[in-house]
Amino acid sequence: MLIEPVHKENLPRRETSYIFIFTVLFAYIGVVITTIFFHPLWRDEIYTWSVASASSSLPDLALRKVYDGHPDLWYVLVFMVRQWSDNPVSMQLLHAAIAILTVFLVLKYAPFARIQKVLLVFGYFYLFEYAIISRNYAPGLLMITILLTLNRDRGKHILWKALVLFLLCQTNVFGVIFTIAYVLTRVFEFAFSRDYRLNLMKQKAILAFGILLVLAGIVYSIHTIIPPPSGYYSGITHFSLSQLTLPELIRSIGTVWRAWVPLPLFQLHFWNTNIIGSDVVLAILSLALMVTAGMLFLKRPVVFVFYLTGLTGIIAFILMYYYGYLRHHGQLYILLTTSLWMGANYKEKNIRFKPALIEKYNRWISRNAGNLFLVILIVQLHAGLFAVGVQFFVPFSAARETAHYIRKNNLDRFCMAGDQDVALQSVSGYLNSEVFYFSRNGFGTYLVYDKARSAPDETRILKMADSLSQAQGDTLLLIMNYKIGDTATFHLKPIRAFENSIVTDEIYYLYLMNRRNDTIPWIR
């Protein structure tokens, strides 16, 4: 047998100390629940809430989200929550519940030492990026974690695994990449493990149905991800060999270090930063990390195939489709932790490498793998605690504070308009009111990313605002995320500025446009 699994009696035991599990879990719950009340939603978070709020049914929801470039699962979950609550905090609590369930499974089933589990769940991605920030990545991480718990019994739970993979595909594009990597890994094991193959062949009907379910999940997900031709991003972010240049390759490879060692700049605008700014240095360090992990998995062929296909798929996506941000690059860290978890299910093959230097390097890595992983976990912990800590002193976005001020002073009685549109939709979402988007020359409760969207300059915007004010016959409240230079010509009165925000462009400046020079009530 070319692939030898670990016998069931030799598998890492499940965590049996519920004192340990619930002590860590309650600490995690306390940090996450407390932090989300200090965390204002930014545009990508509140966009889902706004679309769900505007949708009258699931088919209507599918039509409204068609330009977003994400599958349906997170939208459906938010839509369900929206049916009984009009407070966006309910979406944050739903997201927190998903993250908490993931952490419980990690604490109970992950084959790591207790200190590693604690550091893992309080690390940057498990604590902040995929827990505090409410996006569709937390459901994806939950599906991966469930799959790992089921994968302990490799030839069993075929339908459950297929269902989890189907749902994983509906979380985000990286869920599709993980699914494909997992399927290819299973094909590899089927080809080279006689016991695994014989076990599956005893369940042909179930296996066939499971394969069809997974393929359907992949196809449907890709269908929902690709925007229609009328989409704003259609033809802008697309697979292209023209992006396969040396500088772009170097930049894309560097995302491994960004994900595994996410040490941010210790400043107000820390998000998506790293203390190392050179793409070349990042690429060199990333190659060292990738090779080290690859050498660790090389004597476990099944795990190595999963790691290699997942790594290739994610970096290829980053290179040829969308470079993205740290939340996207973080999938490379999830790939690492997933591969380490999978590795506990397989014995190390008795393979010797030539030249001898490679064999010595492999042995050194095998002996020190726990310590190397511990270093990465400690870095993740520092980054996670720093990101959470900043939330208590500086708002992630100024949108919630701006919306509160508008409501408190009854400014939403005026016609509201603003720019830039991506920042405006955060305020619109909190107000749950229609605003006029200059970029689309129309009203909406959220920004529609179709080709009607444009980018008018400040002069054009002010002329449009003046025309809108005259057409409405009313004072106009301008919600801008930049200062307006010429306020006198267009009868603009600066009202308030909200400049304290971690997200650099979600700061706001409020102006009243009143050509009739009516007296505006005192504003606090």
**Amino acid present at 458:** E
- Write down the pLDDT at residue 244: 81
Confidence of residue 489 (pLDDT cuts 50, 70, 90): confident
* pLDDT for 439 beyond 50: yes
pLDDT reported for residue 2: 54
Whole-number pLDDT of residue 491: 84
Contacts of 93 (CB under 8 A, 6+ apart): 33, 36
Alpha-carbon distances of 115 from 36, 245, 378, 438, rounded to whole Å: 25, 42, 10, 52
* Least confident range of 137-151, 234-248, 502-516: 234-248
Overall average pLDDT of the 110-121 stretch = 97
Per-residue pLDDT at 239 exceeds 70? no
pLDDT of amino acid 517: 54
Cis link prior to 331 (omega < 30° from 0)?
no
Q: What is the pLDDT of residue 97?
A: 98
Is residue 83 exposed (0-12), middle (13-18) or buried (19+ Cβ within 10 Å)? exposed
pTM to 2 decimals? 0.94
| Cα atoms in the 13 Å half-sphere on the side-chain side of 137 | 24
pLDDT, residue 1, reads: 46
Specify the pLDDT at position 240.
58
Q: pLDDT for 289-344, tens place per residue?
A: 999 999 999 989 999 999 999 999 999 999 988 999 999 999 999 999 999 999 99
pLDDT band at residue 357 using 50, 70 and 90 as cut-offs = confident
Type of residue at 122: F
3-state secondary structure of 398: coil
pLDDT tens digits, 25-40: 999 999 999 999 999 9
What pLDDT does residue 231 have?
84
pLDDT mean across residues, the chain: 92
CA torsion sign for 453, 455, 458, 464 is negative
pLDDT value of residue 103: 98
Greater model confidence, 359 or 22: 22
Is 242 a residue whose pLDDT tops 90?
no
169 vs 307: CA distance, rounded Å: 18
Residues, the chain: 524
Question: Quick count: other Cβ atoms within 10 Å of Cβ 214?
Answer: 23
- Residue 426 CB partners (closer than 8 Å, separation 6+): 41, 42, 43, 46, 397, 399, 506
Residues 348-363: what's their mean pLDDT? 81
Average pLDDT, integer, range 390-412 = 97
Provide mean pLDDT across the span 98-120.
97
Rounded Cα–Cα distance for residues 39 and 96 (Å) = 12
